[in-house]
Amino acid sequence: MAYFKNIGKIVYEGRESDNPLAFKHYNPQEVVLGKTMEEHLRFAVAYWHTYVGDGSDPFGIGTAIRPWDSLTGMDKAKARVEANFEFMEKLGLPFFCFHDRDIAPEGETLQETNANLDVIVALLKDHMRSTGKKLLWNTANMFTHPRYTHGAGTTCNADVYAYAAAQLKKSLEIGKELGAENYVFWGGREGYESLLNTDMALELDNLARLYRMAIDYAKEIGFDVQFLIEPKPKEPTKHQYDFDAATTIAFLRKYELENHFKLNLEANHATLAGHTFEHEIRVAAINGMLGSLDANQGDLLLGWDTDEFPTDLYATTLTMYEVLKAGGLGRGGVNFDAKVRRGSFEPEDLFHAHIAGMDAYAWGLKAAARLIEGKVLDAFVEERYRSFREGIGADIVAGRATLASLEQYALQNKPIRNESGRLERIRAALNEAIFGV
Ligand code: XUL
Ligand code: CO
């Protein structure tokens, strides 16, 4: 059955096209810097926003009109599976991502919940086999249900911790069954409201213990997966433990877990942390921890996670620049962890939103390739740091310098001369790379 009856296959028609249901920039087979766009971008649809989200907000109930609205329970879950593959096929999306609770409803007991999951996972597997679509990552939702009010891996209640572990175990089994490329941990309620009632050291130790159990179990069942942690500074808790890339890397190193994890970075989480997305990607990349991207954008006028579809070309260009410089996303991809606005309630809007995001990323990829091919930034940065390639700078980089040798140099040095950083000239060049004709 077709759920999106009025929409056909979305194809690349190029810049001249005025068809809103066509790609103007995303041309999957077009080669950019030696790889096709499809290979670079590895786009994924986020099950939760696209099939489960209903447009509700703290002030109003859902507005979304969806073709499966009349169904409930497992019938609705099955309809969403069908809709997912139709949607991916029509948009040419190679991957999808989900939380366990997105795909199947919770039952009265954990046994019943797991049985619901088994039915849907079998259905997903059939469709994946017949369509060739793949699972970029799955995860366990350990934050929505009231049992997780004090957290999951960082809860104060050992019974809740055990429940979370059971849920995680099942999710790893699902990941293996569906051949997931990655498994994501986003610390939904892994954080705290107030130190007045919190044992931070115990909570962090316990979180690391849960990660260790996941590594051991994946090994035990032969699940060849890349584990990812998704940093976020706040929301839902006031202080999320995985605040940003740097904090998360420090946590992983403390517990000697760094070789088992990479990061799943999200644009809106970066801005909530007071960083740009490209900052977070660079921090991950220079630490060998760039895993995957959750593509969206926030609103700088708002202090919460608005999860808008990414349309800002400066941001997508600088994002893809960082990705290309880091050597690509490997097993990761570009997952649209993004939702249509509450006022964009028609099924057709889901297509417009993904087309906008895919085109913005394709544009960003092409502009980033122009920056790299023209050595626009590289040439300047190379020149800017040239003092570290000769003389005293080369000594510093080689580790030959000491405070005494540097003092000796500084004492006899001529007056120091700095050079302009030329940021405005560089920004103009960036504009040319993005918009130049
Ligand atoms: C929440 C968020 C999650 C994760 C997966 O802000 O980004 O959807 O991506 O749990
Ligand atoms: Co996310």
Is the Cβ–Cβ distance between 264 and 299 less than 8 Å?
no
What is the average pLDDT across 360-377? Answer: 98
Q: Is 145 a catalytic residue?
A: no
**What residues are paired with 138 via a beta bridge?**
98, 183
What is the average pLDDT across 201-229? Answer: 98
Mutate to test the pocket of ligand 1, among 168, 228, 230, 305 (most ligand atoms within 8 A of CB): 230
Distance 40 CA to ligand 1 centre (A): 22
Distance 177 CA to ligand 1 centre (A): 22
Is a pLDDT exceeding 90 seen at residue 188? Answer: yes
As a dihedral over the C-alpha atoms of residue 253, residue 256, residue 258, residue 260, rounded to 10 degrees, the angle is: -160
**Which of ligand 1's atoms lies nearest the C-alpha of 141?**
10
Q: What confidence category does residue 141 fall into, taking pLDDT thresholds of 50, 70 and 90?
A: very high
- Residue with CA nearest ligand 1 atom 10: 186
User: Which pLDDT value is given to residue 437?
Assistant: 67
Two structure tokens written together for 37: 């766009």
Is a pLDDT exceeding 70 seen at residue 244? Answer: yes
For 131, what's the count of Cα atoms within 13 Å in the CB-facing half-sphere?
Answer: 24
Is the Cβ–Cβ distance between 360 and 434 less than 8 Å?
no
Q: Indicate which residue of 99, 269, 279, 354 is catalytic.
A: 99
How much is the pTM?
A: 0.98
Is the Cβ–Cβ distance between 372 and 325 less than 8 Å?
yes
What is the average pLDDT across 347-353? Answer: 98
Question: What is the CA angle 224-244-167, rounded to 5?
Answer: 45
pLDDT digits (tens, 9 = 90+) for 10-49: 999 999 999 999 999 999 999 999 999 999 999 999 999 9
Within a 10 A sphere around the Cβ of 379, how many other Cβ atoms? Answer: 10
Ligand 1 site residues (CB inside 6 A) read: 99, 139, 184, 186, 230, 232, 266, 294, 305, 337
User: Which pLDDT value is given to residue 44?
Assistant: 99
The overall average pLDDT reported for the chain is 98
Is a pLDDT exceeding 80 seen at residue 414? Answer: yes
Residue 411 CA: distances (Å) to CA of 249, 392, 405 = 39, 13, 10
pLDDT digits (tens, 9 = 90+) for 262-295: 999 999 999 999 999 999 999 999 999 999 999 9
Residues 6+ apart with CB under 8 A from 82: 1, 3, 127
User: Which pLDDT value is given to residue 1?
Assistant: 72
Cα-Cα end-to-end distance for the chain? 44
- Residue with CA nearest ligand 1 atom 4: 186
Within a 10 A sphere around the Cβ of 236, how many other Cβ atoms? Answer: 16
**Long-range contacts, 63-68 (Cβ 8 Å, 24+):** 63/342, 63/343, 63/345, 64/340, 64/345, 65/345, 65/346, 65/347, 66/347, 67/3, 67/4, 67/347, 68/3
Residue 404 CA: distances (Å) to CA of 179, 373, 395, 398, 417 = 57, 42, 13, 16, 22
**Which of ligand 1's atoms lies nearest the C-alpha of 264?**
9
Q: Is 99 a catalytic residue?
A: yes
pLDDT digits (tens, 9 = 90+) for 61-104: 999 999 999 999 999 999 999 999 999 999 999 999 999 999 99
Q: Indicate which residue of 25, 40, 102, 294 is catalytic.
A: 102
Is a pLDDT exceeding 90 seen at residue 436? Answer: no
Q: Which amino acid is at 52?
A: V
